[in-house]
């Protein structure tokens, strides 16, 4: 509890004790008024001050104004106990709301407690703690067991296990050894390691994630925008309604010759004002989204704004990139077929031609070759997007790629009957054979797609640059409903745009990619989800939602979290508005008194806030 909250609690206790004492003190008249004003000002002076400032700033209609008018009016009418009680319970509700919001923020701060306080730099044989912002790229930092890795880098010395729970939501530690890339925010669990930094602190993973979470509140959902606009018009409307309730019935009674009963109608109007206070909605709706985003962060799902969380709950179409999303993206050479030159020579030519490419297939060829590659032997490299590579190796022209590349070069090639990615190789303009490369499904891919179907997804679509035969085989195995193969990166954008045009406007399309080369498609979809994005700057920048590990099950978890959060939001909207309408009608008819009004305001707010913070555990 903060100092400010403690002061409010002390004022609440003092006001409550004074109110109880005054209830048993037999005083009347002016003395009674003076005595009741003591607890009233103890508990309500700040509300009266805010209301007065609002009037001076021409921002009259807010909850402070409503409380001030209602309580001052009650005291003027001689209802001293009720006037003080309304202000007392309103402050109790405000304290509770402040504590709940603070608890949510603390929970999120704990979940995202990945900002390092220092970095260890070795100087003259001793470790010196410095601000991470002061560490330059290429510096060697030392991370001892139990410390956070402060900056992204490569392990230069030592082996250890890393706790990535704050980033991925997974408790299983990861091993790290010399040569491995490690990212900031992980906790070093076992051995001392030395890391050569590859980024400045401001560009490191931990900084990007913290910026993402901190800025998420700036992107409001439709529900939040609606409540903001609703309160803007609702509060003045109920003030004028209360004024009409206080004035019109007595005037009508006078005209027709009945007792105007001014006190009775003014009391009803004041009750009407207390009931109408929109605190429950104005506080609980943003708090629900705030808690939902925090709960998602705990599960390793980073949401860039409540608008994306709300949109995800309306998802009906999920489009997947294949490689690295549904499959591991770890390609291995499974065989060499139809070779017209020695197989080891065929693999050597293919590995050298592909050695300048960063594509996973290129890396798999180099790995299968197994020897150090001397890139000075290679010249005239030309990488053709979506097709392959041409190069000159030791003066010999080599082409390695798919069937499109062979057709482009006018080279006849043979089909491969096995399922996998086929790299056709041509040497000096003649077909030399093909290399079969296989990619494995991720462990939870099938289960993840089954869970998405249970969540009501209408279509599960897979886009890939692979051959039709390979793509259809994978799609059948995992249960994808639609598959589009042999696509270039630009074709994926066109296909997503085509799907966007065909679907109903209210239903959202989600694209899920690995974040390496999917930025255009991630941006074009209604919601872009980058998975396995731990340390991927491109993914964090391009996607609306970032899954910090590569488990496909996190997709269904993210949708489940969004649906639960939105359900809580609408529960609060319907509950708060429903109770208030009932109490407003009863108050106008004189059935509900000021105590019922206190429940309609403070009671409803407390219940709504309690319901809202359930979103912190939306991933459970």
Q: Is 241 helix (H, G, I), strand (E, B) or coil?
A: helix
d(CA 539, CA 380): 32
Question: Is the separation of the CB atoms in 619 and 560 below 8 Å?
Answer: yes
Question: Is the separation of the CB atoms in 551 and 297 below 8 Å?
Answer: no
Residue 322: C-alpha distances to residues 301, 401, 514 (Å): 20, 18, 9
Residues facing residue 530 across a β-bridge = 513, 546
Structure-token pair, residue 593:
């008194």
Q: How many CB atoms lie within 10 A of CB 495?
A: 17
DSSP label of 133: G
Structure-token pair, residue 415:
């089909």
CA-based nearest residue to 235, from 281, 268, 202 = 281
Structure-token pair, residue 615:
């979103």
d(CA 84, CA 64): 15
- The b/e string for 62-86 (b: 16+ C-beta within 10 A; e otherwise) is bbbbbbbbbbbbbbebebbbbbbbb
Q: Is the four-CA dihedral 57, 61, 67, 72 of positive or negative sign?
A: positive
Structure-token pair, residue 388:
């392959």
CA-based nearest residue to 305, from 611, 562, 509 = 562
Dump the DSSP string for 482-493.
EEE-S--HHHHH
DSSP label of 339: -
Reply yes or no on whether 152 is catalytic.
no
d(CA 509, CA 511): 7
Question: Is the separation of the CB atoms in 460 and 480 below 8 Å?
Answer: yes
CA-based nearest residue to 44, from 71, 63, 17 = 71
* CA 123 to centroid of chain Cα atoms: 41
Helix, strand, coil in percent for the chain, rounding step 5: 55, 20, 30
Q: Is 237 helix (H, G, I), strand (E, B) or coil?
A: helix
Burial of 189 from C-beta contacts in 10 A (0-12 / 13-18 / 19+)? middle
DSSP label of 397: E
d(CA 43, CA 25): 20
The catalytic residue among 62, 152, 321, 549 is 321
Residues belonging to the active site: 321
């Amino acid at each position: 509890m903060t100092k400010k909250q403690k002061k409010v609690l002390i004022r609440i206790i003092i006001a409550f004790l004074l109110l109880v004492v005054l209830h048993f003190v037999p005083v009347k008249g002016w003395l009674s008024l003076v005595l009741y004003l003591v607890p009233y000002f103890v508990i309500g002076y700040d509300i009266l001050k805010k209301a007065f400032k609002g009037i001076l700033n021409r921002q009259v209609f807010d909850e402070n104004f409503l409380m001030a008018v209602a309580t001052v009016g009650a005291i003027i009418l001689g209802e001293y106990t009720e006037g003080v009680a309304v202000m007392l319970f309103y402050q109790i509700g405000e304290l509770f709301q402040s504590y709940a919001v603070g608890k949510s923020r603390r929970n999120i701060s704990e979940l995202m407690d990945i900002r390092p306080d220092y970095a260890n730099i070795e100087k003259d044989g001793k470790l010196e703690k410095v601000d991470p912002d002061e560490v330059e790229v290429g510096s060697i930092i030392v991370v001892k067991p139990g410390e956070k890795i402060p900056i992204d880098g490569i392990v230069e010395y030592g082996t250890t296990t890393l706790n990535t729970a704050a980033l991925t939501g997974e408790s299983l530690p990861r091993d790290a050894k010399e040569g491995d890339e490690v990212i900031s925010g992980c906790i070093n669990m076992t051995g001392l390691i030395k890391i050569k930094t590859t980024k400045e602190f401001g560009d490191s993973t931990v900084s990007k994630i913290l910026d993402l979470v901190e800025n998420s509140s700036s992107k409001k959902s439709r529900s939040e925008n609606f409540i903001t606009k609703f309160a803007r018009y609702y509060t003045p409307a109920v003030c004028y309604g209360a004024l009409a309730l206080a004035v019109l019935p007595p005037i009508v009674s006078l005209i027709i010759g009945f007792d105007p009963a001014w006190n009775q109608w003014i009391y009803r109007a004041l009750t009407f004002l207390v009931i109408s206070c929109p605190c429950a909605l104005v506080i609980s709706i943003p708090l629900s989204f705030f808690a939902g985003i925090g709960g998602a962060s705990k599960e390793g799902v980073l949401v860039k704004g409540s608008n994306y969380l709300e949109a995800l709950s309306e998802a009906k179409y999920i489009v997947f990139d294949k490689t690295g999303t549904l499959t591991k993206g770890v390609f291995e050479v499974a065989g060499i077929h139809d070779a017209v030159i020695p197989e080891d020579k065929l693999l050597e030519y293919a590995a050298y031609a592909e050695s300048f490419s960063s594509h996973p297939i290129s890396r798999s060829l180099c790995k299968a070759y197994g020897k150090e590659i001397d890139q000075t032997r290679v010249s005239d490299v030309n990488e053709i997007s979506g097709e392959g590579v041409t190069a000159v190796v030791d003066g010999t022209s080599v082409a390695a790629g798919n069937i499109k590349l062979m057709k482009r070069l006018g080279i006849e090639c043979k089909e491969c009957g096995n399922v996998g990615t086929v790299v056709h190789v041509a040497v000096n303009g003649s077909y030399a054979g093909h290399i079969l490369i296989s990619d494995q499904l991720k462990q939870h891919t099938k289960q993840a797609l089954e869970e998405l179907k249970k969540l009501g997804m209408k279509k599960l679509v897979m886009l890939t640059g692979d051959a039709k035969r390979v793509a259809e085989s994978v799609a059948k195995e995992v249960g994808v409903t639609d598959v589009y193969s042999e696509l270039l990166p630009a074709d994926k954008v066109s296909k997503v745009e085509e799907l966007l045009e065909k679907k109903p406007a209210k239903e959202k399309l989600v694209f899920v990619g690995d974040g390496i080369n999917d930025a255009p498609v991630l941006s074009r979809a209604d919601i872009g989800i980058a998975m396995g994005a731990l340390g991927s700057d491109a993914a964090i920048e391009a996607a609306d939602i970032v899954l910090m590990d590569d488990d496909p099950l996190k997709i269904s978890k993210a949708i489940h979290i969004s649906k639960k959060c939105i359900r809580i939001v609408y529960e609060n909207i319907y509950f708060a508005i429903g109770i208030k309408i009932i109490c407003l009608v009863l108050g106008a008819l004189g059935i509900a008194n000021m105590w019922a009004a206190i429940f309609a305001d403070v009671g409803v707010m407390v219940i709504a806030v309690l319901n809202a913070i359930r979103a912190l555990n939306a991933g459970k």
